[in-house]
A and B are shown apart, each in its own frame.
Chain A
């Protein structure tokens, strides 16, 4: 997660794992099965199952961002209307400073980057070198 690496010295980040969006027993996506990562789970029915999937995710991708798991009551999801994916920024006083749209169509990490860049400056990355023609 490039934004995390770029701005972790200025802002805190917290990933919150919520109920699955496309589990096998609900609205399954063929792309999840074809995907090389073979992301196939049923919707967790208890906290142990939810924790197991979250751990699989963080370990598979060596996910560096601090992580929390929503309780089975979906309290965090409900409070933030987060499903299936959503981004927020809370300011230093605990107020909502940015509210992203519902994913996947309105999920836009570039807006978070722009918010952070406006406050802490833009972090530029070198353009990848063009491939040499043989």
Chain B
């Protein structure tokens, strides 16, 4: 019984180490892997929207920092391409 528990623990530990190594390679380094888990994963979602769904509306701020407008206001009569992103 003890041997089974030991090997289960060793196998699990090995898998965790392998996963961390893989994540480090993907993220760019061991420190990056931690930062990715901490900062990126909470914000990354597949989302539930599907093709054919009504597009959700959202209020946005113009570059002047004061004017507000809605996504829906920009979507009338023609397709609207939405490009989400940031600088970094």
Contact = CB atoms under 8 A, between A and B. Distances in A.
Interface string A25-50: 01111101000000111000001101
A12 B80 contact: yes
Interface size class of A (residues with CB under 8 A): 35 or more
Interface size class of B (residues with CB under 8 A): 35 or more
Contact of A71 (B45, B51, B59): B59
Interface of B: 27-28, 32, 35-36, 38-40, 43-63, 65, 69, 71-72, 74-88
Interface of A: 3, 7, 10-23, 26-30, 32, 39-41, 47-48, 50-51, 53-58, 65-71, 75-77, 79-92, 94-99, 102-103, 112, 116, 119
Given A13-B81, A27-B36, A94-B75, A76 B58 contact: yes
Contacts, number: 195
A70 to B, nearest CB: 7
Nearest to B59: A71
B63 to A, nearest CB: 6
Contact of A81 (B49, B57, B59): B49
Given A88-B55, A94-B72, A96-B55, 20 more contacts: A11-B79, A13-B83, A16-B85, A23-B88, A26-B38, A47-B61, A58-B63, A71-B58, A76-B84, A80-B58, A80-B84, A82-B84, A87-B82, A87-B83, A92-B79, A94-B54, A95-B55, A99-B47, A99-B49, A102-B44
